[in-house]
Chains A and B, each alone.
Chain A
Amino acid sequence: MDFFKENLPYIMAGISVGGQYALIAIGYTMVYGILRLINFAHGEIFMASGFMMVYLSAVLPWYIAIPTVIVSTVLLGFIVERVAYKPLRTAPRMSIMISAIGISYLIQNVAWYVTSGLAKQYPVIPWISNTVTIGNSTTKMVTLATPFLTLFLVSVLVVLIKYTKIGMAMRAVSRDFETSQLMGIKINSVISATFIIGSFLAAVGSVLYFSNYTTVTPISGAMPGLKAFVAAVFGGIGSIPGAVLGAFIIGISENIIKGLGWTAFSDAFTFALLIIILVAKPTGLFGEKSTDKV
């Protein structure tokens, strides 16, 4: 109990950042489930969303800026898919992955160009940036709101995937790409829908994440992106509850490690976890077992 009391701020921060990772991780896991592609650009979309908020909130009130940011992030995700991935649909997987790395390099460089490489201050959003005191630690409202918002959005998504037509199409495509095409599923619109949902959640995640960390730089998407991907692998790639659980576990352990004074290893720990899970159980916690046919 003492451990819990002492580390309360770290655990809270962990749950909060875990929720933000979860929102990004869903984008990775859904895209991987359907295209078998690590969408390296996803972290950059998350970062770009942060910059859009910085620039839009300078001219618009926050309640208009947030929806605009979400819509433009979705648009960006959609365009990235159409430009960088769609032309390579029949290409070997390695080419698509290289294209993903190329497009993330491009987005990073554009962000650098627009901002001249300077870190930008993220705008203060009323209510979620307020500070609250719990026990003997102070934190921002966003820390408390994130897990609830995350769980709410994830439940909506699960319902969407389970009960709607597009959700059924997504499940079919992730099970078997070719057969679902033969069954008359419009593959391109399903893939676009996946990217739209992923980018939408990344945009929400970026509002929460940057409200907490307050500065945006052109490279601030890389690490959260990689960690969210690790979370997706940890939970079993393709599985949404798995990605969410993985993200919370990573967020919490990373912050407890920081609390123990091992800050230098908080990033390394995530990757160590990744390698352990890949070696011990490559399909992750909830992943489906696949058999390779010769």
Chain B
Amino acid sequence: MMDKNKKILISISLVVGLFALLFILEQVMPSSSMLFVVLKKGAIFALVAVSMNLLNGFTGLFSLGQAGFMLIGAYTYAILTIPMADRAAVYQYFDGGIIGFTLSVPIALILAGIIAAIFAFLIGFPVLRLKSDYLAIATLGFAEIIRAFFQWDVLGPITNSSNLLRKFPTFSTVLYPFAVAGICIFVIVLLINSSYGRVFKAIRDDEIAAEAMGINLAKQKQLAFITSSFFAGVGGGLLAMYQSSIQASAFKASMTYEILLIVVIGGVGSITGSVLSSFLFIASSEWWLRFLDAETYIGSFHVPLMRSGFRKVVFSIIIMIVVLFYRKGIMGTKEFSIEGIGRFFRRLFAKKKEAQ
């Protein structure tokens, strides 16, 4: 089998190759191409989906609070990075707000994660004692409370109440979200492959057995919850950068549902599955199925049903088919790896030889 150094070398060269490819694409293709929308949004949702998978797929905690933590991250990032000169215009109803400083983008992104993690820490105490669907509905409830809280008039000087936050720095190149999301996902992978990750999986497979083996359930669940929220917060910050303006009312439960569906389609418990399905999900909902929304004529024949909104209907039917009939998703709990591909081809050749 491949030795470790060779594996690392191949991985690094693949990553470099990917970034080079993205760089070339950006030089060659017009920047208005849908491809870049998909790549940017896909990378961001990949990060958020992986962070949700850490909780739902690897620790077995069915949480539906992702949109709430993304909201915290997005707001933290936006509030801390709006340039001083633009504050008066953004906080026009609140005399320029009360935050008198501006942070640089990387620090603000990290803080976005940390603030989300702090909220998770506080929420975790009461919520993580609950089981399965109760946990789901309680985290969903907390996300709604957070949303109401950020729209509160009294907090207006900080959060701009229910008005848009805008004029904060954004990214122009697709390399940026790829780099940030890539680093974050890499850290999550390291975590999952560490002893912590094995503890998480033990909790998922059998809570009682895990406890009997001396695992501190409350502490480990809290750890998974905080970590997941940290990365959801960073993802929220990236989403703010992508959208270039944010409003709390957009971070509804339906956003969490979409992320959950990405995780399910990719395979609950597979990191690469989540990444893959995130790009597929965004590509089909934003790009590939767009043609269904346009009224179409073939010759003089008016194709029935096709008008605005049909795309979403077809899309949700596809999702239902996956949910009902391909319950394991694209990857199941398997991971996509170079060795895996190697094995696949070796097996293919072996079969051919046998056939001869």
Q: Which residues of A are at the interface with B, using a C-beta cutoff of 8 A?
A: 36-38, 83-84, 87-88, 91, 93-95, 97-99, 101-106, 108-110, 112-113, 116-117, 219, 222, 226, 229-230, 233, 264-265, 267-268, 270-272, 274-275, 278-279, 282, 294
Q: Which of A37, A94, A110 has a CB less than 8 Å from the CB of B313? A: A110
B interface residues, Cβ below 8 angstroms from A? 56, 62, 126-127, 129-130, 132-134, 136-138, 140-142, 144-145, 147-149, 151-153, 208, 252-254, 257-258, 260-261, 264, 268, 307-310, 312-313, 315-317, 319-320, 323-324, 327
Contact yes or no, A275 B141, CB < 8 A: yes
Chain A residues with CB under 8 Å of B140's CB are 226, 271
CB distance from B124 to the nearest CB of A (A): 12
Residues of B within 8 A of A108 (CB): 254
Are A93 and B320 in touch, CB under 8 angstroms? no
* Residues A99 and B324 in contact, CB atoms below 8 Å apart: yes
Interchain CB contact (< 8 A) of A109 among B129, B137, B264, B316: B316
Cβ contact within 8 Å between A268 and B145 = yes
Contacts A103-B320, A268-B149; is A98 near B313 (CB within 8 Å)? no
Contact status B148-A268, CB under 8 Å: yes
Q: Least Cβ distance of A40 to chain B in Å?
A: 8
**Chain B neighbourhood of A83, CB < 8 A:** 320, 324
Q: Are A264 and B316 in contact (CB under 8 A)?
A: no
Q: What are 17 of the A-B contact pairs (CB < 8 Å)?
A: A38-B133, A38-B137, A97-B62, A102-B316, A106-B317, A109-B312, A109-B315, A113-B309, A113-B310, A116-B309, A230-B141, A264-B151, A271-B140, A272-B145, A274-B137, A275-B127, A278-B126
Residues of A within 8 A of B261 (CB): 98, 101-102, 105
* A contact residues around B264 at 8 Å (CB): 98
| B144 contacts A102, C-beta separation under 8 Å | no
Task: Give the most central of A268, A272, A282: most B CB within 10 Å.
Answer: A268
Q: Do A264 and B153 touch (CB < 8 A)?
A: yes
What are the 10 A-B residue pairs with the smallest beta carbon separation, nearest first? A271-B141, A268-B148, A113-B309, A109-B312, A106-B316, A268-B145, A279-B126, A102-B323, A109-B316, A274-B141
B324 A275 Cβ-Cβ under 8 A: no
Closest to A272 in B: B145
CB of B131 to closest CB in A, whole Å: 9
Interface centre among B130, B147, B320 (most CB of A within 10 A): B320
Complex-state Cα separation, A98 to B267, whole angstroms: 12
Query: Pick the contact of A229 from B127, B137, B260, B317 — CB < 8 Å?
Result: B137
Alpha-carbon distance A195/B4, docked complex (angstroms): 56
Q: How far is the CA of A97 from the CA of B258 in the complex (A)?
A: 14
Say whether, besides A102-B261, A233-B137, A275-B138, A267 and B144 are in contact (CB < 8 Å). yes
**Is B136 within 8 A of A38, CB to CB?**
yes
Interface centre among B133, B151, B312 (most CB of A within 10 A): B133
Q: Which A residues lie within 8 Å of B320 (CB)? A: 83-84, 99, 102-103, 106
Quick check: B309 and A117 within 8 Å, CB to CB? yes
Is the pair B132, A278 in contact by a Cβ cutoff of 8 Å?
A: no
Pick the contact of A116 from B149, B253, B308 — CB < 8 Å? B308
A274 contacts B257, CB within 8 Å? no
Report the Cα distance A113→B317, complex, angstroms. Answer: 13
Residue of B nearest to A32 (CB): B133
